[in-house]
Every structure is written in structure tokens, then in C-alpha cells.
Amino acid sequence: MMKSTLPITYLCIALAVAISPLSALAQDAPAGTTPAPAPAAAPEAPADDTPVITVDDTPITVGDVREMFNGKYAGQFQQLPPEQQAMFQQQIQQMILTELVSKTLLLNAANKADYKASEEEFQEAMKGIQANIPEGSTIEEFAKSAGVDLDRVKSQIRDDIKIRQLVESITESAKAPDDAEVKKHFEENPTEFEEKASVTASHILLSTDADADEEAIAKAKKEADEIRAKLVAEEAADFAELATAHSDCPSKTKGGDLGKFSAGQMVPEFEKAAFEQEIGAIGEPIKTQFGYHIIKVTDRTDGKQLAFADVKEDLAKSLLEQRKGEKMQAYLVELREAADIKQIGGPEPAPGTAAPAPQTKPSVPKPTEKKKAEGEE
């Protein structure tokens, strides 16, 4: 039975918990890869310990911003063309600062409530990181090759455990929806449960600049025609190899594979060709704003309306997570409003993170005696 990915928008309860840089690197990079530096806003970057924002006198530094960038955003950022990097740099900085402010607020609240990270929880988290590290490499070796301070990673893991304990205490009162509520949501939001028609395809892109002249366009078209002719004429010609050798799209690192996509995710000319093309065929080069594309469709699925029985379980879980997210967001708003958040330097803080402190402080749930006992060192 096909499981649906429910398109329900809700706040993740762990939004403010930063993924440790070592864990993120382990998923995205092979051993020996050194993380790229964060995009510099000036020729001479400030020192890592330079404060950017303080949250109740707890500093968030340039190093913290750079570390989160390397751990969560560097890979995708580096695949963007230079002009798009300039466009998205400030947005990424805002996102990072929002996450760091939220994490700092939650960590301060967890520490105030005396939450502890037990050794058992810590070792379990370390095992999870080890499982994502390339085979044959230890955590210590990978951290060294990636330029990551392992002691700092361990400290962050313990912090994240305490934050998760606080998050659980904030959200534990969220009530799971009953069958009638789940059914009601299903019936009132039919478009959420439409499985759109989709195709799985690869492509080879011969790019052209937006201001390319006729000669440059003709050159790209000629090269595209030659590559397609080779693919059609020679049964041994490997599409993935030719994509790796000739494509101007970042997907060339995966042999041109674009994965599965549905209507509305690609530019119209490309989408029309991909949905009309026969499976396994090498289509005529298609011109889009990016250049000429040679497309190979490897699979196609028809759209359909999903049955309630197929989505009931996932929908119930999603609605519960939505309720938890709402509680978590409300709690974070309370923390922000009660905190003294000051911009010191660097990029501007994200909207809503620098509210003036009111007279009253939000209550912080205390850990149970059992949790405290387990966490005592």
C-alpha cells in the first residue's frame, strides 16, 4: 500500500533545536571533506568570537552563525549560481539567526528548570551520529578531517537533549485527534489528499545566459543535437555518463537525475515535454530560459484521489504534530517577549526576535524527579 506524504503545513516542535554540525556533515559529505566557509559579507570577516546578538546576556557569535551555515546550508548554497547566492545570502543569515535565538531561549529555559542530559541519552545520540559517518571512519577521525571541534559537538548534543526534554514537557498536553476529527479534516480538505501525476526523469542541460546572442544560442542547440544524436544512435551510450561530462546543471553529479516531480515544479516548457515524452525515449532538445534540455523519462505515475483508509494513520499523526507545534510556537513567543534580546553587530536579527521584555516571565516546566535523578552526574 502506498503511503502518502501529507501536504499539511505545521510547525515542527523541534524547530529551535539546531542539528549538530558533525551530524549534518556526516549526512552530506564523505570523510575528508572540509566544510566551506559561510558567505562573507565583507572582505575581512570578523573573528568567530565576535558577538552578533545577546539573548539575556548569552552571546550568539559570528562563529555560531558560521557553524550552523556549514552544518545546514552550505551544500545547497554552493550549488546556486553566484547571482542567486547574493540574493539568498541575507535570507539565510536571517533564518540562522532566528534558529539560534530560539535555541538559546530554549536552552536557557531548560537550564533554569534544571533539565539534565543522562549518559544513556548522550551515548544513544552519539551512536546515531556514528551510524551516519562513512564506513571505516570513527567519530574522532571524521571530526578531525571535517575541521569540527568534537568537544563542542558533544556539548551541543547534551544541550539538545535538555532542549528536547523541555519541548516534550511543553507539548505533552497536546491532545491526539479522535477519529471524527481526523475524518472531518479529510473531508474538508480534499485537495490535500490528491496524489498528483508525476514523472521521474533525468536531463542534460546546455545552458545559455539570459542575454546570450543568436550565435551562443545556436552553439548550445548544436551541441544538444549532437549529444542527443549520440544517445539515439549508439545503444551503448550512457545517459548518466554524458550528463556528468556535458551538463551545466548541478544534477550532473547524479548523472542528470532530477528524481520524481509533479506538475508545477518545473518551468512550463520542460514540464510539458517531460509529461508527454514516452518512458525510456530520448526527447528532442527543449528550449527554456536556462538553455537546451535533453530529457529522458524513466517512470510516470497517474494522479489519483487518496482514500481515507490510506491516509488516516499519517493524518492523525500530522494533526497531533500540528497541535504540538502550535503549543511550542506559543511558548517561544512568550520566551521572546520576556527576553532581553539585543543586536550587537553582524546581520540584522530576524523579525520578531528582538521584542522588549515585559514585566512578567513565562513559567518554565520543571523536570520530573525521575528525569532529574537519571540525569544527575
Give the CATH number of the domain where residue 222 resides. 3.10.50.40
- Single out the residue of 126, 114, 116, 115 nearest to residue 153, CA to CA: 126
Question: Do both 102 and 155 map to the same domain?
Answer: yes
Indicate if 297 and 315 belong to the same structural domain: no
Name the domain count of the chain.
2
Give pLDDT < 50 ranges for the chain: 1-43, 346-360, 369-377
Three-class DSSP labels, 174-199: CCCCCHHHHHHHHHHCHHHHEECCEE
Judge if pTM exceeds 0.75.
no
Query: Within this chain, do residues 171 and 285 fall inside the same structural domain, yes or no?
Result: no
Angle between the N-to-C axes of helices 239-246 and 214-233, in degrees from 0 to 180, rounded to the nearest 10: 160
Same domain? 144 vs 44: yes
DSSP per-residue codes, 215-232:
HHHHHHHHHHHHHHHHHH
Please say which residue of 275, 302, 329 terminates a domain: 302
pLDDT of residue 136: 82
Whether 192 maps to a domain, the answer reads: no
Q: Would you mind telling me the total number of residues written for the chain in this entry? A: 377
pLDDT at 358: 37
Regarding whether 338 and 283 lie in a shared domain, the answer is no
Average model confidence (pLDDT) across the chain: 80
* Distance separating alpha carbons of residues 291 and 302, to the nearest angstrom: 28
Task: Identify which of 168, 18, 102, 167 has the alpha carbon closest to the alpha carbon of residue 339.
Answer: 102
168: helix, coil or strand? helix
Closest by CA position to 339, among listed 114, 113, 163, 101: 101
Q: Is 360 strand, coil or helix? A: coil
Domain hosting 168: range is 21-178+310-375
Give residue 236's pLDDT: 59
Task: Select from 249, 270, 302 the last residue of a domain.
Answer: 302
User: Residue 137: its pLDDT value, please?
Assistant: 83
Cell, residue 225: 543535437
Q: Tell whether 28 is covered by a domain.
A: yes
57 and 99 inside one domain: yes
Both 159 and 207 in one domain: the answer is no
pLDDT value of position 5: 29
pLDDT at 83: 62
